[in-house]
């Protein structure tokens, strides 16, 4: 697969603090690439450098294709109407306005509303509509589903999949592990300005083990256990309860989630 983004030895400092310490990765054409990191890990800095919004202090970045960028926030005038903003950016980009995309994002419903009156979710949809102007080949999406309701998230995810089917490359930064697991082909997890993991979700699970969670409800209350070897651990656990004379009222076994794996590698809170 051809790489449309190549990052080699990227470094960025803020005074004496090294935000990025020589990270390297590539993003292939037509894939959805997830960029994850806890607070202060360097995720937002890496995005800004790739987008050309922040100067790097070392290393190189190659981006091959037209870019569309959806930021977490945008400095749009408070009184501009949603459709006016779309037309304004379309004029700057000399791009046609795609009615089907606006319909999919629900822009027609908020077309005459002023930017200051929009909800967080409505602003996110407007930012994405602007990012898609000019038919970009590479999309940077920073928390695209933030503030959306269940129906809005479902529609957005369907649109992201459709964009990938059209051959677009998508770099997705998200704190929603379920979203990342559902959409991303590969992920990079940053920790303290370095890449702690790079690969698929399946490879991450294999790296850390299956990590089963066992929840037992008994007269002693709810007790939780963790194991990577369910076939060995579960019979032993049941035997311990039986030997102690404690009847089990309920038992649940769940596979470890991407969120648990993320916490194990990245540490800290999501960013």
Q: Are 188 and 162 contacting, i.e. CB atoms less than 8 angstroms apart?
A: no
Across the range 38-66, mean pLDDT stands at 92
Using the predicted structure, report yes or no on whether residue 210 has a pLDDT greater than 70.
no
Q: Which of 217, 191, 205, 184 is nearest to 256 (CA)?
A: 205
Q: Is the pLDDT of residue 270 over 50?
A: no
Between CA 161 and CA 32 the distance in angstroms is 9
Predicted structure pTM score: 0.77
Average pLDDT over residues 236-258: 86
Burial of 135 (0-12, 13-18, 19+ CB in 10 A): middle
Confidence class of residue 182 from pLDDT cuts 50, 70 and 90?
confident
Q: Give the dihedral of Cα atoms 242, 248, 254, 256; nearest 10 deg.
A: -60
pLDDT tens profile 65-83: 999 998 777 778 999 999 9
Average pLDDT for 94-115: 92
Residue 199 confidence (pLDDT) above 80: yes
Confidence of residue 171 (pLDDT cuts 50, 70, 90): very high
Average pLDDT estimate for 89-114: 92
Determine the average pLDDT of the residues in 187-216: 83
**pLDDT of amino acid 263:** 66
pLDDT band with cut points at 50, 70 and 90 for residue 269: very low
pLDDT recorded at residue 260: 65
**pLDDT tens, position by position, 137-148:** 999 998 888 777
Q: What mean pLDDT is reported for the chain?
A: 88
- Among 2-6, 173-177, 224-228, top mean pLDDT goes to 2-6
Dihedral of alpha carbons 221, 225, 231, 237, sign: negative
What pLDDT is stored for residue 40 in this prediction?
81
According to DSSP, residue 109 is labeled G
pLDDT at res. 73? 72
The predicted model gives 42-48 an average pLDDT of: 90
């Amino acid at each position: 697969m051809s790489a449309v983004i190549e990052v080699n030895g990227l470094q960025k400092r803020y005074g004496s603090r090294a935000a990025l310490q020589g990270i390297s990765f590539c993003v292939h054409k037509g894939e959805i690439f997830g960029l994850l990191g806890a607070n202060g890990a360097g995720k937002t800095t890496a995005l800004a450098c790739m987008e050309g919004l922040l100067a790097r202090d070392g290393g190189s970045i190659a981006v091959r294709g037209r870019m569309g960028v959806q930021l977490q926030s945008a400095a749009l005038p408070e009184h501009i109407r949603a459709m006016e903003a779309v037309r304004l950016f379309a004029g700057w980009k000399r791009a046609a306005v795609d009615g089907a995309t606006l319909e999919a994002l629900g822009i027609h419903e908020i077309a005459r509303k002023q930017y200051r009156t929009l909800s967080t979710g409505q602003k996110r949809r407007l930012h994405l509509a602007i990012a898609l102007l000019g038919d970009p080949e590479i999309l940077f999406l920073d928390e695209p589903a933030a503030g959306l309701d269940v129906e809005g998230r479902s529609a957005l995810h369907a649109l992201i999949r459709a964009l990938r089917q059209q051959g677009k490359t998508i770099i997705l930064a998200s704190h929603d592990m379920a979203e990342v697991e559902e959409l991303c082909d590969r992920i990079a997890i940053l920790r303290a300005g370095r890449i702690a993991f790079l690969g698929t979700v399946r490879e991450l699970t294999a790296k850390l083990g299956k990590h089963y969670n066992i929840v037992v409800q008994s007269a002693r209350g709810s007790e939780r256990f963790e194991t990577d070897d369910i076939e060995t651990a579960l019979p032993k656990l049941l035997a311990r309860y039986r030997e102690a004379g404690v009847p089990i009222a309920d038992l649940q076994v769940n596979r470890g989630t991407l969120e648990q794996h993320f916490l194990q590698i990245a540490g800290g809170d999501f960013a």
